């Protein structure tokens, strides 16, 4: 992956999406929960760095380059951004001394570069009154325009920033081999000094954050140093450049609140809005002084806990304290002698816009995140995008993930929790069935022998009495004994059948023909019950154990038929459907339904609500076991008083 000026430290990223919310360029892509900076889309504004509380954003460092490549030169020069008073509010007078202690031979105010370009802005503005001009000292601004509004490149003032102007001035004066290091509050300056159109002026960029790291590394304590002075050339009004409107002040362009031809814009939200308005031709014949931050005093690498207004006061304090020491005649001479210095530049389109997805694609993504109409779109902003629609667009463009949607994630979590709960219940039932099965097998084997003896001797006694033509009630008593013994035999057979679950014989069977045959048998046995069979095609083939699947269907239909015996409407509806992988069997009755308290007991062995002698309570337990052995599922839907529906889902192939 291409690593840019700003990148993500993966292990620190905690899925908060603050950086996504703050990025004006949609240059952060979420991959598996990690907010990854897309280098080619990034404009290096640093907003993501400012808002990341987890320190998950890394800015490329020039510390080693400065310490081990540039400073060893005997003539390395530092130029310091005029916002330094806001970053070092108590020790700003000591910065020149500290930098010379590091090894810089000269320490100069970048504000002189602001003075140099001020005349260029005055001239350009005067010559282009009929054109909307966008100021260009902020690299984040022109990066944004080059990548996302390339049609506005012609509106950018073709003038270098104060940093580049100061660099070109010093290179011209001291030679092109002289190393120049810019120190300031702006991360985007790292991008600017590598720009092919300006990279000859500056050799490295340190942020104020990096400068503090160097001070710590070399044990330089600012409080212990003496106050120092910058080296010439000295700046004039350029000292005001880091304040909102500072360019206008330096260039002597009116910024009166009633001035219709000039607009001052700062802050990313207002910047995005004004640039969009210019692109839409809503702004005409204006000079737009524009900064992504709220002035450079609020840059992402300002090392100060002061609020915006206190920072502003510190810059003004430095301005007022030092402006009176500037010899205006010398300053004018320096400006005049630099009149032929090339302070122009060009901007180049670098379009990074991604194609807008179709409305159909957007709606599809919204549906996938459970947003089927406008009322489902919460627009909560938890994903980092202001609306659900914008998040869907970002997903379609490959810049986001569906899991970024918090309500959708909560829904998925609730579903997963319910599935886990159901699985736990199924596991519990399976363990219980296995235990009961082992017990049942033992009991059945123990009962079978005495039961066989009872049936044998009862039959023998009955036969002897019938030969003797005994007329008393003994024969009837023996018939009752034999009948009840046979019932016990059936119960034992069911117990053994239940205990032997686990062995299935797989063949391809026609589920429809099996169901039809069972329905025919039930209709003959219960001719007062209407049984409706619905199916989608003439053959429904699955791989299964035929005998066991017959038992499942027979149990379900028999239970449904018995459930309507005492109701006014005696109707059972059976529906067979299929898709590519599964078949579904639905058996619904018009009975009284199942009470809520019995729903969880339905598949428990020996649980029955039938009258004594009508059932053993093993039918549904056996049914459940057979379906699970076939890797299927069974569920029940019932509303008491309105019948019940058993739904079986079986795979076509095990």
Within-domain flag for 28: no
pTM here is: 0.66
pLDDT tens figures, 536-548: 888 889 999 888 8
**Helices in 232-341 by DSSP H: which ranges?**
246-251, 268-279, 308-323, 328-337
pLDDT tens figures, 320-358: 988 888 888 999 999 999 999 999 999 999 999 888 888
Within-domain flag for 602: yes
- Residues 495, 538, single domain; the answer is no
pLDDT tens figures, 266-305: 988 899 999 999 999 998 778 999 998 888 899 999 988 8
> Residue 415 and residue 424: Cα distance in Å, rounded?
14
The token pair at 457 is 């001797």
Q: With bands split at pLDDT 50, 70 and 90, how would you rate the model's confidence at 628? A: confident
Q: With bands split at pLDDT 50, 70 and 90, how would you rate the model's confidence at 453? A: confident
| CA angle 595–515–632, rounded 5-degree value | 60
Structural domains in the chain (count): 3
Specify whether the CB–CB gap between 510 and 576 falls below 8 A. Answer: no
Mean pLDDT value across residues 219-228? 94
- Residues 598, 569, single domain; the answer is yes
Within-domain flag for 545: yes
The token pair at 9 is 């430290």
Helix (H) or strand (E) holding 607: none
> Residue 26 and residue 21: Cα distance in Å, rounded?
9
Within-domain flag for 259: yes
- Residues 451, 521, single domain; the answer is no
Q: With bands split at pLDDT 50, 70 and 90, how would you rate the model's confidence at 489? A: confident
Whether residue 501 has pLDDT greater than 60 = no
Query: How high is the mean pLDDT of the chain?
Result: 86
- Residues 103, 121, single domain; the answer is yes
Within-domain flag for 21: no
Specify whether the CB–CB gap between 650 and 504 falls below 8 A. Answer: no
- Residues 90, 107, single domain; the answer is yes
- Residues 148, 256, single domain; the answer is yes
Mean pLDDT value across residues 170-184? 95
DSSP letter (8 states) at residue 369: T
Mean pLDDT value across residues 436-444? 62
DSSP letter (8 states) at residue 604: S
pLDDT tens figures, 129-166: 889 999 999 999 999 999 999 999 999 999 999 999 99
Count CB neighbours of 395 within 10 A. Answer: 24
Within-domain flag for 199: yes
In this prediction, residue 615 carries a pLDDT of 56
Mean pLDDT value across residues 403-432? 71
In this prediction, residue 76 carries a pLDDT of 96
HSE, CB side, 13 Å, CA atoms: give it for residue 642. Answer: 4
In this prediction, residue 460 carries a pLDDT of 83
Give how far Cα 454 sits from Cα of 138, 481, 485, 626, Å. Answer: 103, 8, 7, 32
Within-domain flag for 298: yes
- Residues 314, 188, single domain; the answer is yes
Number of continuous H segments (helices) and E segments (strands) in the chain: 22, 18
Count CB neighbours of 202 within 10 A. Answer: 26
Boundary (domain end) residue, out of 469, 500, 531: 500
Helix (H) or strand (E) holding 62: none
In this prediction, residue 429 carries a pLDDT of 60
With b meaning 16 or more CB within 10 Å and e meaning fewer, what string describes 208-229? Answer: bbbbbebbeeeebebeebeebe
Specify whether the CB–CB gap between 296 and 208 falls below 8 A. Answer: no
Whether residue 598 has pLDDT greater than 60 = yes
Check which CATH number belongs to the domain holding 526 and give it: 3.30.565.10
Boundary (domain end) residue, out of 465, 500, 535: 500
Which residue in the block uniquely carries the two structure tokens 């889902």? 649
In this prediction, residue 6 carries a pLDDT of 92
Specify whether the CB–CB gap between 192 and 213 falls below 8 A. Answer: no
In this prediction, residue 381 carries a pLDDT of 74
Whether residue 87 has pLDDT greater than 90 = yes
Give Dmax over CA atoms of the chain in angstroms.
Answer: 150
Whether residue 410 has pLDDT greater than 60 = yes
Mean pLDDT value across residues 445-472? 76
- Residues 520, 472, single domain; the answer is no
> Residue 648 and residue 336: Cα distance in Å, rounded?
92
DSSP string across 130-186: TS-EE--S-HHHHHHHHHH-GGGGGGB--B--HHHHHHHHHHHHH-TTS-EEEEES-
Whether residue 500 has pLDDT greater than 90 = no
Within-domain flag for 126: yes
DSSP letter (8 states) at residue 516: H
Q: Which domain holds residue 605?
A: 503-654
Boundary (domain end) residue, out of 446, 471, 500: 500
- Residues 167, 312, single domain; the answer is yes
| Region for residue 108 given its phi and psi (left: phi exceeds 0; alpha: psi -120 to 50; beta: otherwise) | beta
- Residues 543, 626, single domain; the answer is yes
Which residue would you say has higher pLDDT here, 427 or 168?
168
The token pair at 74 is 């005997």
- Residues 584, 545, single domain; the answer is yes
DSSP string across 403-443: GG-HHHHHHHHHHHHHHHHHHHHHHHHHHHHHHHHHHHHHH
Whether residue 229 has pLDDT greater than 60 = yes
In this prediction, residue 84 carries a pLDDT of 95
Lowest mean pLDDT among 27-31, 112-116, 360-364: 27-31
């Amino acid at each position: 992956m291409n690593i840019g000026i700003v990148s993500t430290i993966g292990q620190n990223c905690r899925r908060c999406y603050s950086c996504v919310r703050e990025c004006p360029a949609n240059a952060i892509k979420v991959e598996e929960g990690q907010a990854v900076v897309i280098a080619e889309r990034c404009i290096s504004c640093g907003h993501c760095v400012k808002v990341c509380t987890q320190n998950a954003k890394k800015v490329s460092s020039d510390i080693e380059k400065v310490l081990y490549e540039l400073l060893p030169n005997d003539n390395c020069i530092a130029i310091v951004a005029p916002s330094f008073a806001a970053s070092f509010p108590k020790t700003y007078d000591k910065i020149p001394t500290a930098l010379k202690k590091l090894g810089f031979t000269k320490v100069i105010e970048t504000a002189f570069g602001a003075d140099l370009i001020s005349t260029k802005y005055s001239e350009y503005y005067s010559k282009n009154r009929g054109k909307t001009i966008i100021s260009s000292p902020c690299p984040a601004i022109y990066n944004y325009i080059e990548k996302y509004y390339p049609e506005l490149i012609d509106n950018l003032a073709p003038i270098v920033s104060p940093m580049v102007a100061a660099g070109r001035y010093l290179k011209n004066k001291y030679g092109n081999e002289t190393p120049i290091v810019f120190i300031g509050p702006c991360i985007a300056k790292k991008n600017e000094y590598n720009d092919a159109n300006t990279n000859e002026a500056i050799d490295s960029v340190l942020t104020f954050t990096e400068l503090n790291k160097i001070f710590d590394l070399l044990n330089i304590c600012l409080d212990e140093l003496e106050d120092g002075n910058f080296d010439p050339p000295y700046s004039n009004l350029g000292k005001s450049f880091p304040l909102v409107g500072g360019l206008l002040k330096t260039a002597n362009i009116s910024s009166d609140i009633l001035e219709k031809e000039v607009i001052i814009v700062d802050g990313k939200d207002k910047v995005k809005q004004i640039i969009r308005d210019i692109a839409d031709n809503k702004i005409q014949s204006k000079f737009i002084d524009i900064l992504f931050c709220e002035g450079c005093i609020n840059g992402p690498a300002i090392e100060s806990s002061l609020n915006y207004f206190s920072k502003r006061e510190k810059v003004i304090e430095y301005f007022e304290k030092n402006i009176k020491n500037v010899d205006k005649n010398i300053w004018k001479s320096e400006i005049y002698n630099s009149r032929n210095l090339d302070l122009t530049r060009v901007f180049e389109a670098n379009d990074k816009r991604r194609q807008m997805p179709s409305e159909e694609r957007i709606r599809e993504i919204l549906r996938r995140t459970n947003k089927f109409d406008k009322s489902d779109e919460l627009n909560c902003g938890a994903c980092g995008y202001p609306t659900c629609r914008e998040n869907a667009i970002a997903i379609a463009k490959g810049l986001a993930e569906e899991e970024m949607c918090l309500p959708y994630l909560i829904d998925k979590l609730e579903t997963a929790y319910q599935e886990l709960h159901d699985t736990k219940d199924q596991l519990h039932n399976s363990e219980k069935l296995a235990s009961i099965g082992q017990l049942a097998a033992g009991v059945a084997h123990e009962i079978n022998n005495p039961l066989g003896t009872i049936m044998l001797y009862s039959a023998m006694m009955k036969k002897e009495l019938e030969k003797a033509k005994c007329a008393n009630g003994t024969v009837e008593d023996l018939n009752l004994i034999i009948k009840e013994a046979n019932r016990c035999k059936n119960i034992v057979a069911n117990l053994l059948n239940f205990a032997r679950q686990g062995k299935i014989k797989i063949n391809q069977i026609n589920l429809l023909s099996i169901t039809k045959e069972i329905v025919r048998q039930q209709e003959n046995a219960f001719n007062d019950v209407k049984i409706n069979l619905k199916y989608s095609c003439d053959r429904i083939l699955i791989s299964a154990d035929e005998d066991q699947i017959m038992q499942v269907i027979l149990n379900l239909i028999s239970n449904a038929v018995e459930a309507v015996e005492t109701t006014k409407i005696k109707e059972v509806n059976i529906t067979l459907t299929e898709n590519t992988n599964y078949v579904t069997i639905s058996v619904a009755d018009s009975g009284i339904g199942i009470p809520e308290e019995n729903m969880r007991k339905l598949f428990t062995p020996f649980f029955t609500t039938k009258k004594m002698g009508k059932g053993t309570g093993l039918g549904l337990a056996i049914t459940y076991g057979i379906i699970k052995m076939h890797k299927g599922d069974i569920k029940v839907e019932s509303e008491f008083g309105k019948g019940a529906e058993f739904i079986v889902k079986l795979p076509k192939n095990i």
